[in-house]
Amino acid sequence: AGEVAKDRWLTGKKVLITAGPTQEKIDPVRYFTNPSSGKMGFALATAAAHLGAEVTLIAGPVSLETPAGVNRVDVVSAEDMFREVDLRFNEHDIIIKSAAVADYRPKLTYEDKMKKQPGNYRLEMERTTDILQTIGQKKTHQFLLGFAAETVDAIEYGKKKMKKKNLDAIVVNNVKEDGAGFGHDTNTATYIDRQLQEHPLPKMPKTQLADEIFRLMKHDITGDVH
Ligand code: CTP
Ligand code: CA
């Protein structure tokens, strides 16, 4: 009793979501990473499943439980994530890249633990593949949603990334803002649609933000305002 009729607008749709950080190995006991908790991506996977989608979640190293009904694939490095996304993107309708992918990885990975030496140490890094940009170039019918975490000029950078990566929408947030971004349970973000219209979303739990993102996406995909 009192139950609200559920909107299952994603029924029959396949949604691919990436979440969490990546780890780029230096040697058997060291790696580069970032503070992404994966909470936003996992919240999006939960929301998509509730809306009726068949969801695949490609997760970097995070300590979160797999949302009910979601097909999870664990990865470690940016290259692993690229491979798993590239394998599947063609058969998906909506692709959401909320993962915080490393831009660089050590050029060499040492097989044995490195020993410290006197003086400074320099490490050479090389670029990883930009997963989202690669998919943006190849996409046919897919709706591509990117994320951008910035510390200055978030909206401006977000719009540039949207264009450069051929995205259908982007969610940007300023991680310097109070209670926003990495590790927090809340986030403050702006959804930018294909017409470059900005939809600011106030500070709210990431679970709720995930619902808001799908509400805005529904409008973009179906033209439905409800
Ligand atoms: N992204 C990706 N593969 C990478 C780097 C980023 O797929 N190797 C994706 C992220 O998942 C995110 C979007 O690109 O959806 C934007 O990531 P961000 O780090 O904000 O932008 P970059 O293009 O990497 O630019 P920069 O870090 O220089 O701001
Ligand atoms: Ca980056």
Tell me if 190 sits within 8 A of 197, measured CB to CB: no
Query: Ligand 1, residues 130, 155, 160, 192: which to mutate, most atoms within 8 A of Cβ?
Result: 130
Quick check: CB of 147 below 6 Å from ligand 1? yes
Averaged over successive runs of 10 residues, the pLDDT of the chain (226 residues) comes to: 72 98 98 96 98 98 98 98 98 98 97 96 96 97 96 95 97 85 87 96 95 97 80
Question: Of all atoms in ligand 1, which is nearest to the CA of residue 102?
Answer: 8
Which pLDDT score, from 0 to 100, does residue 15 have? 98
Which pLDDT score, from 0 to 100, does residue 180 have? 76
Tell me if 18 sits within 8 A of 92, measured CB to CB: no
Which pLDDT score, from 0 to 100, does residue 223 have? 85
- Respond yes or no on whether ipTM tops 0.85: yes
Taking the CB of residue 111, how many other CB atoms lie within 10 A of it? 7
Which pLDDT score, from 0 to 100, does residue 106 have? 98
Which pLDDT score, from 0 to 100, does residue 35 have? 93
Both tokens of 47, joined, read 């929301």
Domain layout of the chain by residue ranges: 14-104+127-222
CATH code for the structural domain at 14-104+127-222: 3.40.50.10300
